[in-house]
Chains A and B, each alone.
Chain A
Amino acid sequence: MMPDGLFGSDWDPQTVLNTTNAVYIVASILFILGLKRLAHPSTARTGNRMAAIAMLMAVVITLIDRQIVQVPWIITGIIIGAAIGTVLARQVQMTAMPQLVAVFNGFGGAASALVASAELVREQDAVDDVAAVTIMASTIIGAVTLTGSFIAFGKLQGFVASQPVLLPGRNYLNAVLLAVAIGLAIFLVFEPNTFAAFAVMGVIALALGILLVIPIGGADMPVVVALLNSYSGIAAAATGFVLENNMLIIAGSLVGASGLILTRIMTKAMNRSLANVMLGGFGAADGAAAGGAAGAVEQRPVRSVSAEDVALVLSYARSVIVVPGYGLAVAQAQHAVRELADELKSRNVSVKYAIHPVAGRMPGHMNVLLAEANVPYDELKDLDEINSEFDRTDVAIVIGANDVTNPAARTDPASPIFGMPILNVDNANAVVVLKRSMASGFAGVENELFFLEKTMMFFGDARGSVEDLVREVKAL
């Protein structure tokens, strides 16, 4: 028998249950339709709202239907969570979006693991095999998502060294830990009441989350964040299996699919396999080797120019393509860049932006930054759209990007980035590179682009440099 919920005793329990499930179906449909509206920037905002409404409906009907007896506790939890969420969402800078998403992923994973653990506590001996399997899966995935996300957050924020941390024999260690965790999970399916084993399994899963992410370098974080995004969805779906709730399964698998698709887009854009990214160490070993070589290479001449030179070149161009990279985000140069673009446009120069899929620290990071600076989204072009346009472009201006513009990816089979799809910046008539120094990018390789005859190097902090350019163009 279903005890009285907030509906009171006048309601037929079966009616309540049917109503709840009907609302869950409506919510599931709204989630799908909401995500569908993300297919275009003009409909995306309403899509997000549809998903939010679906969530609200699901929460309200659950509160009404279920045998909620701990109402004050639950309301406290919701108020605390909503307050933290609101403050984080309002305060975060657009440049810090990858960190925020990482933290939210972690919370989602933690919630899934906690729900599964609580279900085990509740069911105890009554738990059957199938339920036990889903509980263990949900706990492990949730725990890995939690600690993995927080390490990713630490690396993005600079709390944890963003260089790959390479423990000796780490792949064996991880394999052994995973095997032990799975072994314990199987044992727990038959002996669900062994809380010590459950606790050990949980701790191992938490450790795995840390160990899996520390060997991965900072610039590979877009892949990690996308993958953890997927995990948080899969963890939610697993919780749906635990509670036999189809809405959780549907919503969770939508997120799982989304994260996996983004992960694949990212790895393809780096011409690397997911395994290669996850095994980590990229840039660390190569970087050391290239560091030695760089000493010799640094002697090669580059053409260093002043703000005045660049301003002249830009204002006499007919078409300019801006190529932003993570350096732009670090320097918070997005507003200055838009000012420069406005100034050029007022002189009838066409300005577009070429955005590589892995520019920045998460998928679409550059687009959000430029949108924040009021750059219209139809000026933001992705790799396939823009690459054929470089040879018809007068000036390409590279701001804080490096590896994604390196022609060696097309021409030098010996380069570690060979085969990676790049922006064909070197096809433009002239190239201006804004950069702090000649330091190599994440891949630890020299960028041949910098040594081309048509390339002008404009050294300095991205924001300061662009602001100087705005002043010089205005003065012309």
Chain B
Amino acid sequence: MVETLLISLTVFVLAVFVGYEVITKVPPTLHTPLMSGTNAVSGIVIVGALIIAGQDFGIAGAILGVVAVALATVNVVGGFLVTDRMLQMFRRGPEDGK
């Protein structure tokens, strides 16, 4: 099990570096959409929720799983929609549009 933990840690560390490089390039003007967008991405836990909810291991597990699916879905759907709503409002000035 320690081997898989080490693989997971490798992926984690590399992903944090990628995240740092990518996110530092986001301009301050987009920081609010960045937060709501990454928030939607953190809803990736929905995959975990689906895996848990999909298995048959008693009513307690099923309830926990389904509640987790619902909460994660709010996060995902709401997060991406509201980010899109914000981003469509950002427009360039008329003089640069030409």
Contacts and interface: CB of A to CB of B under 8 A. Distances in A.
Interface string A119-151: 101100000111100100000000000000000
A89 B72 contact: no
**Chain A CB within 10 A, most for which of B38, B58, B92:** B38
Interface residues of B, number: 85
B73 A236 contact: no
Interface string A232-245: 11011101111111
Interface string B12-36: 1001101110111111111111111
Contact of A122 (B49, B57, B73, B89): B57
Contact of A258 (B7, B38, B43, B56): B38
A77 interface: yes
Interface in B71-91: 71-91
B74 A85 contact: yes
Contacts of B30: 38, 41, 44, 364, 367
A118 B37 CA distance: 27
A255 B22 CA distance: 11
Of listed B25, B41, B46, B84, residue having the most chain A CB within 10 A? B41
A237 B32 contact: no
A255 B41 contact: yes
B46 to A, nearest CB: 6
Contacts of A262: 31, 34-35
Given A82-B77, A122-B61, A261 B42 contact: no
A165 interface: no
Given A41-B92, A108-B39, 20 more contacts: A35-B41, A44-B87, A45-B84, A48-B37, A51-B37, A68-B50, A73-B65, A74-B54, A81-B72, A84-B78, A101-B39, A107-B74, A108-B71, A111-B48, A111-B75, A236-B45, A241-B12, A244-B8, A262-B35, A382-B27
B87 A81 contact: no
By secondary structure, the B interface counts as: helix
Given A44-B30, A86-B81, A364-B28, A371 B19 contact: no
A85 B46 CA distance: 14
A256 B19 CA distance: 8
B80 A51 contact: yes
A73 B68 CA distance: 12
B5 A41 contact: no
Interface residues of A, number: 115
Contacts of A250: 11, 15
Given A257-B19, A262-B31, A82 B11 contact: no
B70 to A, nearest CB: 4
A226 interface: yes
B51 A243 contact: yes
Contacts of B44: 31, 55, 58, 236, 247-248, 251-252
Contact of A114 (B18, B22, B64, B96): B64
Max count, chain B CB within 10 A of own CB: residue among A32, A70, A357 = A70
B36 A101 contact: yes
Nearest to B29: A367
Contacts of B40: 51-52, 55, 104
A260 B81 CA distance: 23
B48 A240 contact: yes
B34 A38 contact: yes
Nearest to A61: B47
Contacts of A119: 52
A91 to B, nearest CB: 10
Interface string A39-70: 11110110111011001001100110011111
Contacts of B31: 262, 265, 362-364, 367
Which of A49, A88, A128, A367: most chain B Cβ within 10 A? A367
- The 3 A-B pairs with the shortest beta carbon distances in the complex, nearest first, are A81-B73, A257-B19, A85-B78
A414 B46 CA distance: 50
A371 to B, nearest CB: 4
A100 interface: yes
Contacts of A40: 27
B32 to A, nearest CB: 4
Interface string A364-390: 110110011010111110100000000
